[in-house]
Structure formats: C-alpha cells, structure tokens
Structure 1
Amino acid sequence: MQFGIFSVGDITMDPTTGRTPTEHERLKAITTIAKHAEDIGMDVFATGEHHNPPFYPSSPTTILGYIAAQTKKIILSTSTTLITTNDPVKIAEDFATLQHLADGRVDLVLGRGNMGAVYPWFGKNNQDSVELTVENYSLLRRLWDEEVVNWEGKFRTPLRGFTSTPRPLDGVAPFVWHGAIRTPQVAEIAAYYGDGFFANNIFWPKEHYQQLIGLYRERYAHYGHGTPEQAIVGLGGQFFIRKNSQDAVNEFRPYFDNAPVYGHGPSLEDFTSQTPLTVGSPQELIDKTLTFRDYFGHYQRQLFLVDHAGLPLKTVLEQLDLFGAEVLPTLREEFATNRPASVPDAPTFEARSQGAAVSSGVAPSTTSINPAGVN
C-alpha cells in the first residue's frame, strides 16, 4: 500500500492574513513540500496540471524533474496529465525523459481535466473529450511499447516510421493510472488496458465512487487481467489535523469557508460527514481512512490533498509532521492486516522491470466503451 500527497497547484489568498502567495513562492514551496513528504516516509508525491490562473503547474514534468534531483526514494507522479489536450508524442518523450533522470521512480495519472476552456487553447474541442482520450492514449501506448510506429488517427497528423526518444527505461514504460471523478468511460479504458484507476474521491459521497470503482473492477476482470479484487485502484482524500480535534476545526474553518473549490457552499460539518474530508484529530483521520477499504475493497494507493485553500507552507509542513508521526505508521499496519495474498501490491518500476507483465493492446473505439448503467 502506497501513501502520498497530491497538489492541485492553486494560488489562493490566506483568509486569516489576506495575503496571496506569488507564483514563485508556490513553486518553491511545492518543492519543499515534496521533499518533506519523502522525509516523513511517504511513498508518492503528485502534482496537477493547469494552464490558467489561479494555478501554477502548467509544466508538471519540469516541476517533477526539479524535485527528482533533490529526492532519492519518493515516486514522482501527476494528479492529472491532460491526455486530451497534450500531444501524445510529447507526453511519451517527457515522461520517458523524467523516468531516466529519476531512475524509474515515475508514473502518471491521465485525465481530461476539469475545465472546458482549456480545449480551444490547444486547438481542441471539448465535445471530443472522450474520443480524444481514447485516441491519444492508444497512440501513447504504442509510442512506448513499439520501437517504430506507423499511425493515423482523427485528431493529429499521421506518423510514419516514427520512434519516440528516449525509449522507456529498461523497456518498462511508466505505469499509467487513469483518473476520474465522474466519467465511466475512463474506468472502461483503464480496465481495457489493465492499467490503474485513480478515483479522486474528494468531493462526492462514497456511493458515487463505489459505482465507478465497481465498474472498473468488473471490466478489469472481463478483459482477462485478473479477478475484480486484483484490479489496481488508487484513491484521493484530504485532511486537516491537529492533536485536538476542535483545534483542527477552528483553525481550518476560515480556509474551508473561503476556498474556491468548496467555500460558500455546504458547511464544514456537512462536507466532512458526506465526503472523505477529515478535519480533526490523527485518530479521526485514521478511523475515516480505514473505512475506505470497507467501501471500495483492498486498494493500492492513497493520496491526500494538504496544501490547498491558502494554507501557509509552515502549516502544511506541520500537517505532514503530524501525519508522519501519528497517522502513517498505523495506516501502514492496519491496511496490511488481513490483506489477501492475491491482492497485488502497488506497481513500482522495480517490480515491473523484474518481470511483471505489462499489458498492451489495441485501443477500444469510442463505440465500444460501455458505461454499463453508471450515471
């Protein structure tokens, strides 16, 4: 079981001081946060991708490459790489390069993003988002899996005798997770290829994600990759903790109430009761996180959002220290308890390069993607 943090990369005013950090400050801060995540024993750091204010991470591989040079063990990933508007050739090149520089400790989460406005900025139409996802990922897989690619599709110029360089390290492409909040077609694509499915369950009730993850597990088995229980699942989450529960609530409330993503909506109490957000003591975070296994089955990766809503760097580092000291050891122990031997570990470069099978195939057409009744 892997534990880590992810960042959406927002630049938000601190409501307690009225100060908004600069882009420079946030970029430098996220490097400090990633290094600190490794220091406390976390397994994964992931950054988002956005191309508009008030976000800074428009170039995730540049950020991750800088962090790679200052870390030794932590897996470097994305919480979203836009498969719809990025050129698959550039994704293949950028992540293979990063993989070499980081000695393999790289994977990525592919997604469609959460803003329709980004599509025309890159010459795309958001009405084509699912078709773009299918076509672009089919090409990306071929670029990593085949030395020489001849390809023709609908949304980019053809390739003739093209070789993507550098080649994946030791012939093992970065592991791919397909991320979704609400899209069953994404779960279908992940299942088809035998890739991971990352359900970023930070906003909606558990029943919604039970449907998506259940669909993914069912289709993973349908395509012959293993049993439903052997499917590779990752989950998002978010927390704010202090040793005393009421201190956490009092301190976090102004950030919650003013956050662009959920401020001025449901109360903090309603949101924490209906979603995975935990605001309270370390034990409350442990207890709530352990319920995820009950809802979704045994899974492989748990990432938490901790650096959003204007929280200052000092506070974020304090959150990580408390998590590392009082939460992480217990979560590792509890998630290992009664874990069936048939449930695979989280994919790593080392394990995959030592002979684990890497699935590949021909991409399903958009007409073959079946939401199977999931809304």
Structure 2
Amino acid sequence: MQFGIFGVGDVARDPVSGRTPTEHDRIKALVDYAQLAEDVGLDVFAIGEHHNQPFIASSPTTLLGYIAARTERILLSTSTTLITTNDPVKIAEDYAMLQHLADGRLDLMMGRGNTGPVYPWFGQDIRNGIALAVENYALLRRLWREDVVDWEGRFRTPLQSFTSTPRPLDGVAPFVWHASIRSPEIAEQAAYYGDGFFHNNIFWPKEHVRQLIDVYRRRFEHYGHGAADQAIVGLAAHVFMHRNSQDAIREFRPYFEGSSAYGNGPSLEDTMTQTAVVVGSPQEVIERVLTYRENAGGDYQRQLFNVDGIGVPHKRVLEQIELLGEIVPVLRKEFAQSRPAHVPDAPTHTSLIAAEQAQVTRSETDRP
C-alpha cells in the first residue's frame, strides 16, 4: 500500500501569527515537503493544478520536474491534472517528458476541476465538463499507446498522422487515477479503462464516499478487469497531529475556523466525525485511518494525507511529515496483515512493464 502527502498549493494567511507567505515561500516550501517526505519513508508526493488565486500550483510538471531532480525514490503524482481545460496533446507530451526525467517515478490523477471561471480562461465551458473529461482522456490514452494517431472529436481540431513526443518511457504510459468527489460518470470512466479511482474524501461523509467507490468497484468487475475487491482505489485525509490530542485540537482549531474551505460550516468536532479530517495524537490518527477500509469497501491501494495549506506554518507542516514518518510503518503493517493475497498493490512503472511483458508472453504462447 502506498502512503504519501498531497497539496493544492494554496496561499493562506496564518490566523495565529497574522503572516501570509509569499508565492515564492509556498513554492519553495512544497519542494521541502517532497524532499522530507522521501527522507521519512513516504511513497508519494502529489500536487494539484490550479490557475486561480490564491493557488500557486499552475504548472505541476515544472514543480515535479524540479523535485524529481532533487529526489531519488519517491513517486511523483498530481492531485489534479485538469483533463477538461488542458489540451490532451500537451498533457501527453508534458507528462511523458516528466516520466523520462523521473525515471518512471510518475503517475497522474485526472480531475475536472471545480472552479467555474477557469473553463473560459482556457476556451471551454464548464457545462461540458463531463463530456470534455471523457473525450480528452480517450484521446490521451491513444496518444500514449499508439505511435501514429488519426483522430477527430468535438472539442479540438482533428489530428492526422500525429505522433506525440517523447514516447512514454519503455513504451509504458504513466498510470492514471481518475479523481472525483461526486460524479458517477468519472467512476464509470475509471472502471471502463481499468484505471485507478481516487476519492478526495476530506469534505464528504463516509456514506457518500462508500457509495461512489462501490459504483467504481462494481463497474471495474463488469468490464472484466478483475474482481470488485481488486479495483485500484485511493483515499485522502486531512491530518494534524500533536503528541497530545487536546493540544492538536487546540492548535488546529484557528486554522480550521479561519479557512475558506472549512470555516462557516460544521464544527471541527462534527467535521472530524463525518469526514476524513483527522486531528489528534499519532495513535488516534492510526486508529482512525485503519477504519477507512470500510469507506473504501475493502482494501485499497493508496492513502494520501494533506498536511499543509489553510495557513498552517511551514515549521508545523514539517513536523506533521516527520510524524507521518513515524505512523506510516505501523499503518503499512496493520493494513498488510489482513490484506488478501489476490488484492493487487498500486501500479508502478516497474509493475506495468512486468504486466506488459507477461501479456506479450501469453500472446506468444497462445499462437497456433
């Protein structure tokens, strides 16, 4: 099972100190977080894509390429790549380039984005969000898997004898997760292709999370990719830890209540009860995360934690990553003990190469 951290690159005022970091501060801080995540033994660092203030993560490939050069082991991902407003040709080429630079340490999380004004900035209409996601991803898959593509669709100009460059590393496309918090159409899309499905369940009641993941699992099996419990599922959590749970709640409360994402809504206590916001001691976080099997409808492959943003200062974020380095070995062991042997791990570049070679071997064996 993979464990890691993700963020969206928001620039927010610290309600305790009154300080607001600069864009430069936040960009450089994200690099620090990725490097520390690798140092403490986490598996994944992911960053979202946003083009509106107060976010700074407008170019994930640039940031992840820089991090790739400063790390050796950690898998790099996106917590959103906007499949709706990016040209699939540009996605194919940018992320193939990044895949080479990272020596295969790359996958992507595709998302539609939930900020309406971004769509017209890139010449699109939010009312076409689902249709864009479906069409653009279908083209992206072909661009990565076919050397020469002829294509015509609704939302971009046709392609004639087009080859995207560079080609994917070792002829194997990056693994794709489809991220959604409310759209069964995206769960269906992930299931159709046998891709992963990631639910950012921070803001949603566990019943809702389970319902959407169940749709994905059933359809994954329907399309013949394996049994429902073999589907590739990822979950999120927003975590803030302190050695003492009361101190954790006391310190996190002003950030929660001052946040545009959480403030003016349910209380911190109610939010912790209903969603994947987890504030407490390391042991409490362990116990809570171990219950997520129920939310996921069984064993799952990736657990990402959000530990930065909403004004939490740099020093505190580094402390959270250090604490994750302490609890993740416990979580890894606990999840592994009850995991059925037939449930796969999250795909990696190495495992995808092995699967493709096995398929070639089977095909050669089946020839008359």
Same fold (TM over 0.5): yes
1:328 maps to what in 2?
328
- CA offsets, 1:218-251, max 9 Å, x none? 0000001000011000011111000100010111
Partner of 2:80: 80
Check the 8 A contact 1:83/1:111 in 2, yes or no: yes
Task: Give the counterpart letter for 1:25 in structure 2.
Answer: D
Q: Is the 8 A contact 1:76 1:106 kept in 2?
A: yes
Q: Name the aligned partner's letter for residue 138 of structure 1.
A: A
AA partner of residue 302 (structure 2): R
Kindly provide the amino acid, as one letter, of the partner of residue 253 in structure 1: R
Question: Structure 2 CA distance, aligned partners of 1:353 and 1:318?
Answer: 37
Counterparts in 2 of 1:70-219, with a 5 A limit?
70-219=70-219
- Alpha-carbon separation, structure 1, partners of 2:161 and 2:146: 11
Q: Residues of 1 paired with 2:344 and 2:102: CA distance?
A: 24
Query: 1:345 aligned to 2:345?
Result: yes
1:314 aligns with 2:315: yes
Partner deviation per Cα, 1:65-84 (whole Å, 9 max, x = no partner): 00000000000000000000
2:57 alignment counterpart = 57
Mapped pair 1:232 → 2:232: yes
8 Å Cα contact 1:83/1:137 also seen in 2:
yes
Are 1:77 and 1:106, in contact at CA under 8 Å, matched by a contact in 2? yes
The one-letter amino acid of 1:320's match is: I
Structure 2 counterpart of 1:312, which letter?
Answer: P
TM-score, normalisation: structure 1: 0.94
Q: 1:367 corresponds to which residue?
A: none
Query: Which residue is 2:255 aligned to?
Result: 255
Which residue of the partner structure matches residue 305 of structure 2?
304
The RMSD of aligned alpha carbons is: 1.1
Q: What SS does structure 2 have at the residue aligned with 1:198?
A: strand
- Whole-angstrom distance in 2 between the partners of 1:139 and 1:346: 24
What whole-Å deviation, never above 9, does each CA across 1:178-203 have from its counterpart, x for those lacking one?
Answer: 00011110000000000000011000
Mapped to 2, the partners of 1:37 and 1:229 lie a distance apart of 29
Determine the C-alpha separation between the residues in 1 that align with 2:356 and 2:299: 20
Cα deviation for residue 356 of structure 1 reads 4.5
State how far apart, in whole Å, the 2-side matches of 1:291 and 1:94 are.
37
Which runs of 5 or more residues in structure 1 are unaligned?
Answer: 360-375
Paired residue for 2:47? 47
Contact 1:149 1:162 in 2 (8 A): yes
The residue aligned with 1:241 is: 241
Using the size of structure 2 for normalisation, the TM-score is 0.96
- Summarize deviations over 1:100-153 as a string: whole Å, max 9, x none: 000000000000011111110000011111110111000000000000000000
- The 1:237–1:267 alpha-carbon spacing in structure 2 relative to 1, beyond 3 Å, is same
How far apart, in 2, do the equivalents of 1:163 and 1:22 lie? 40
Following superposition, which runs of at least 4 residues in structure 1 exceed 4 angstroms of deviation? 356-359
Give the unaligned 5+ runs of structure 2: 360-368
Q: C-alpha deviations, 1:53-103, integer Å up to 9, x for none?
A: 000000000000000000000000000000000000000000000000000
3-state DSSP class of the match of 1:154?
A: coil
The total of aligned residue pairs comes to 358
Alpha carbons 2:210, 2:294 under 8 Å: kept: no
User: For residue 272 of structure 1, what is the aligned residue in structure 2?
Assistant: 272
CA deviations over 1:295-352 (Å, ceiling 9, x no partner): 3210000001000110111100011112212x11110100101210110011110111
In structure 1, distance between residues paired with 2:160 and 2:170: 25
* Mean Cα deviation higher: 177-186 or 292-301: 292-301
Question: 1:294 Cα shift?
Answer: 2.6
Q: Secondary structure at the match of 1:161?
A: strand
d(CA) in 1 for partners of 2:64, 2:306: 17
Deviation (angstroms), 1:358: 11
Counterpart contact for 1:352–1:358, Cα < 8 Å? no
* Cα distance in structure 2, aligned partners of 1:200 and 1:294: 15
Shift of 1:267: 1.0
For residues 102 and 24 of structure 2, the distance between their equivalents in structure 1, rounded to whole angstroms, comes to 24
Identical aligned residues as a percent: 66
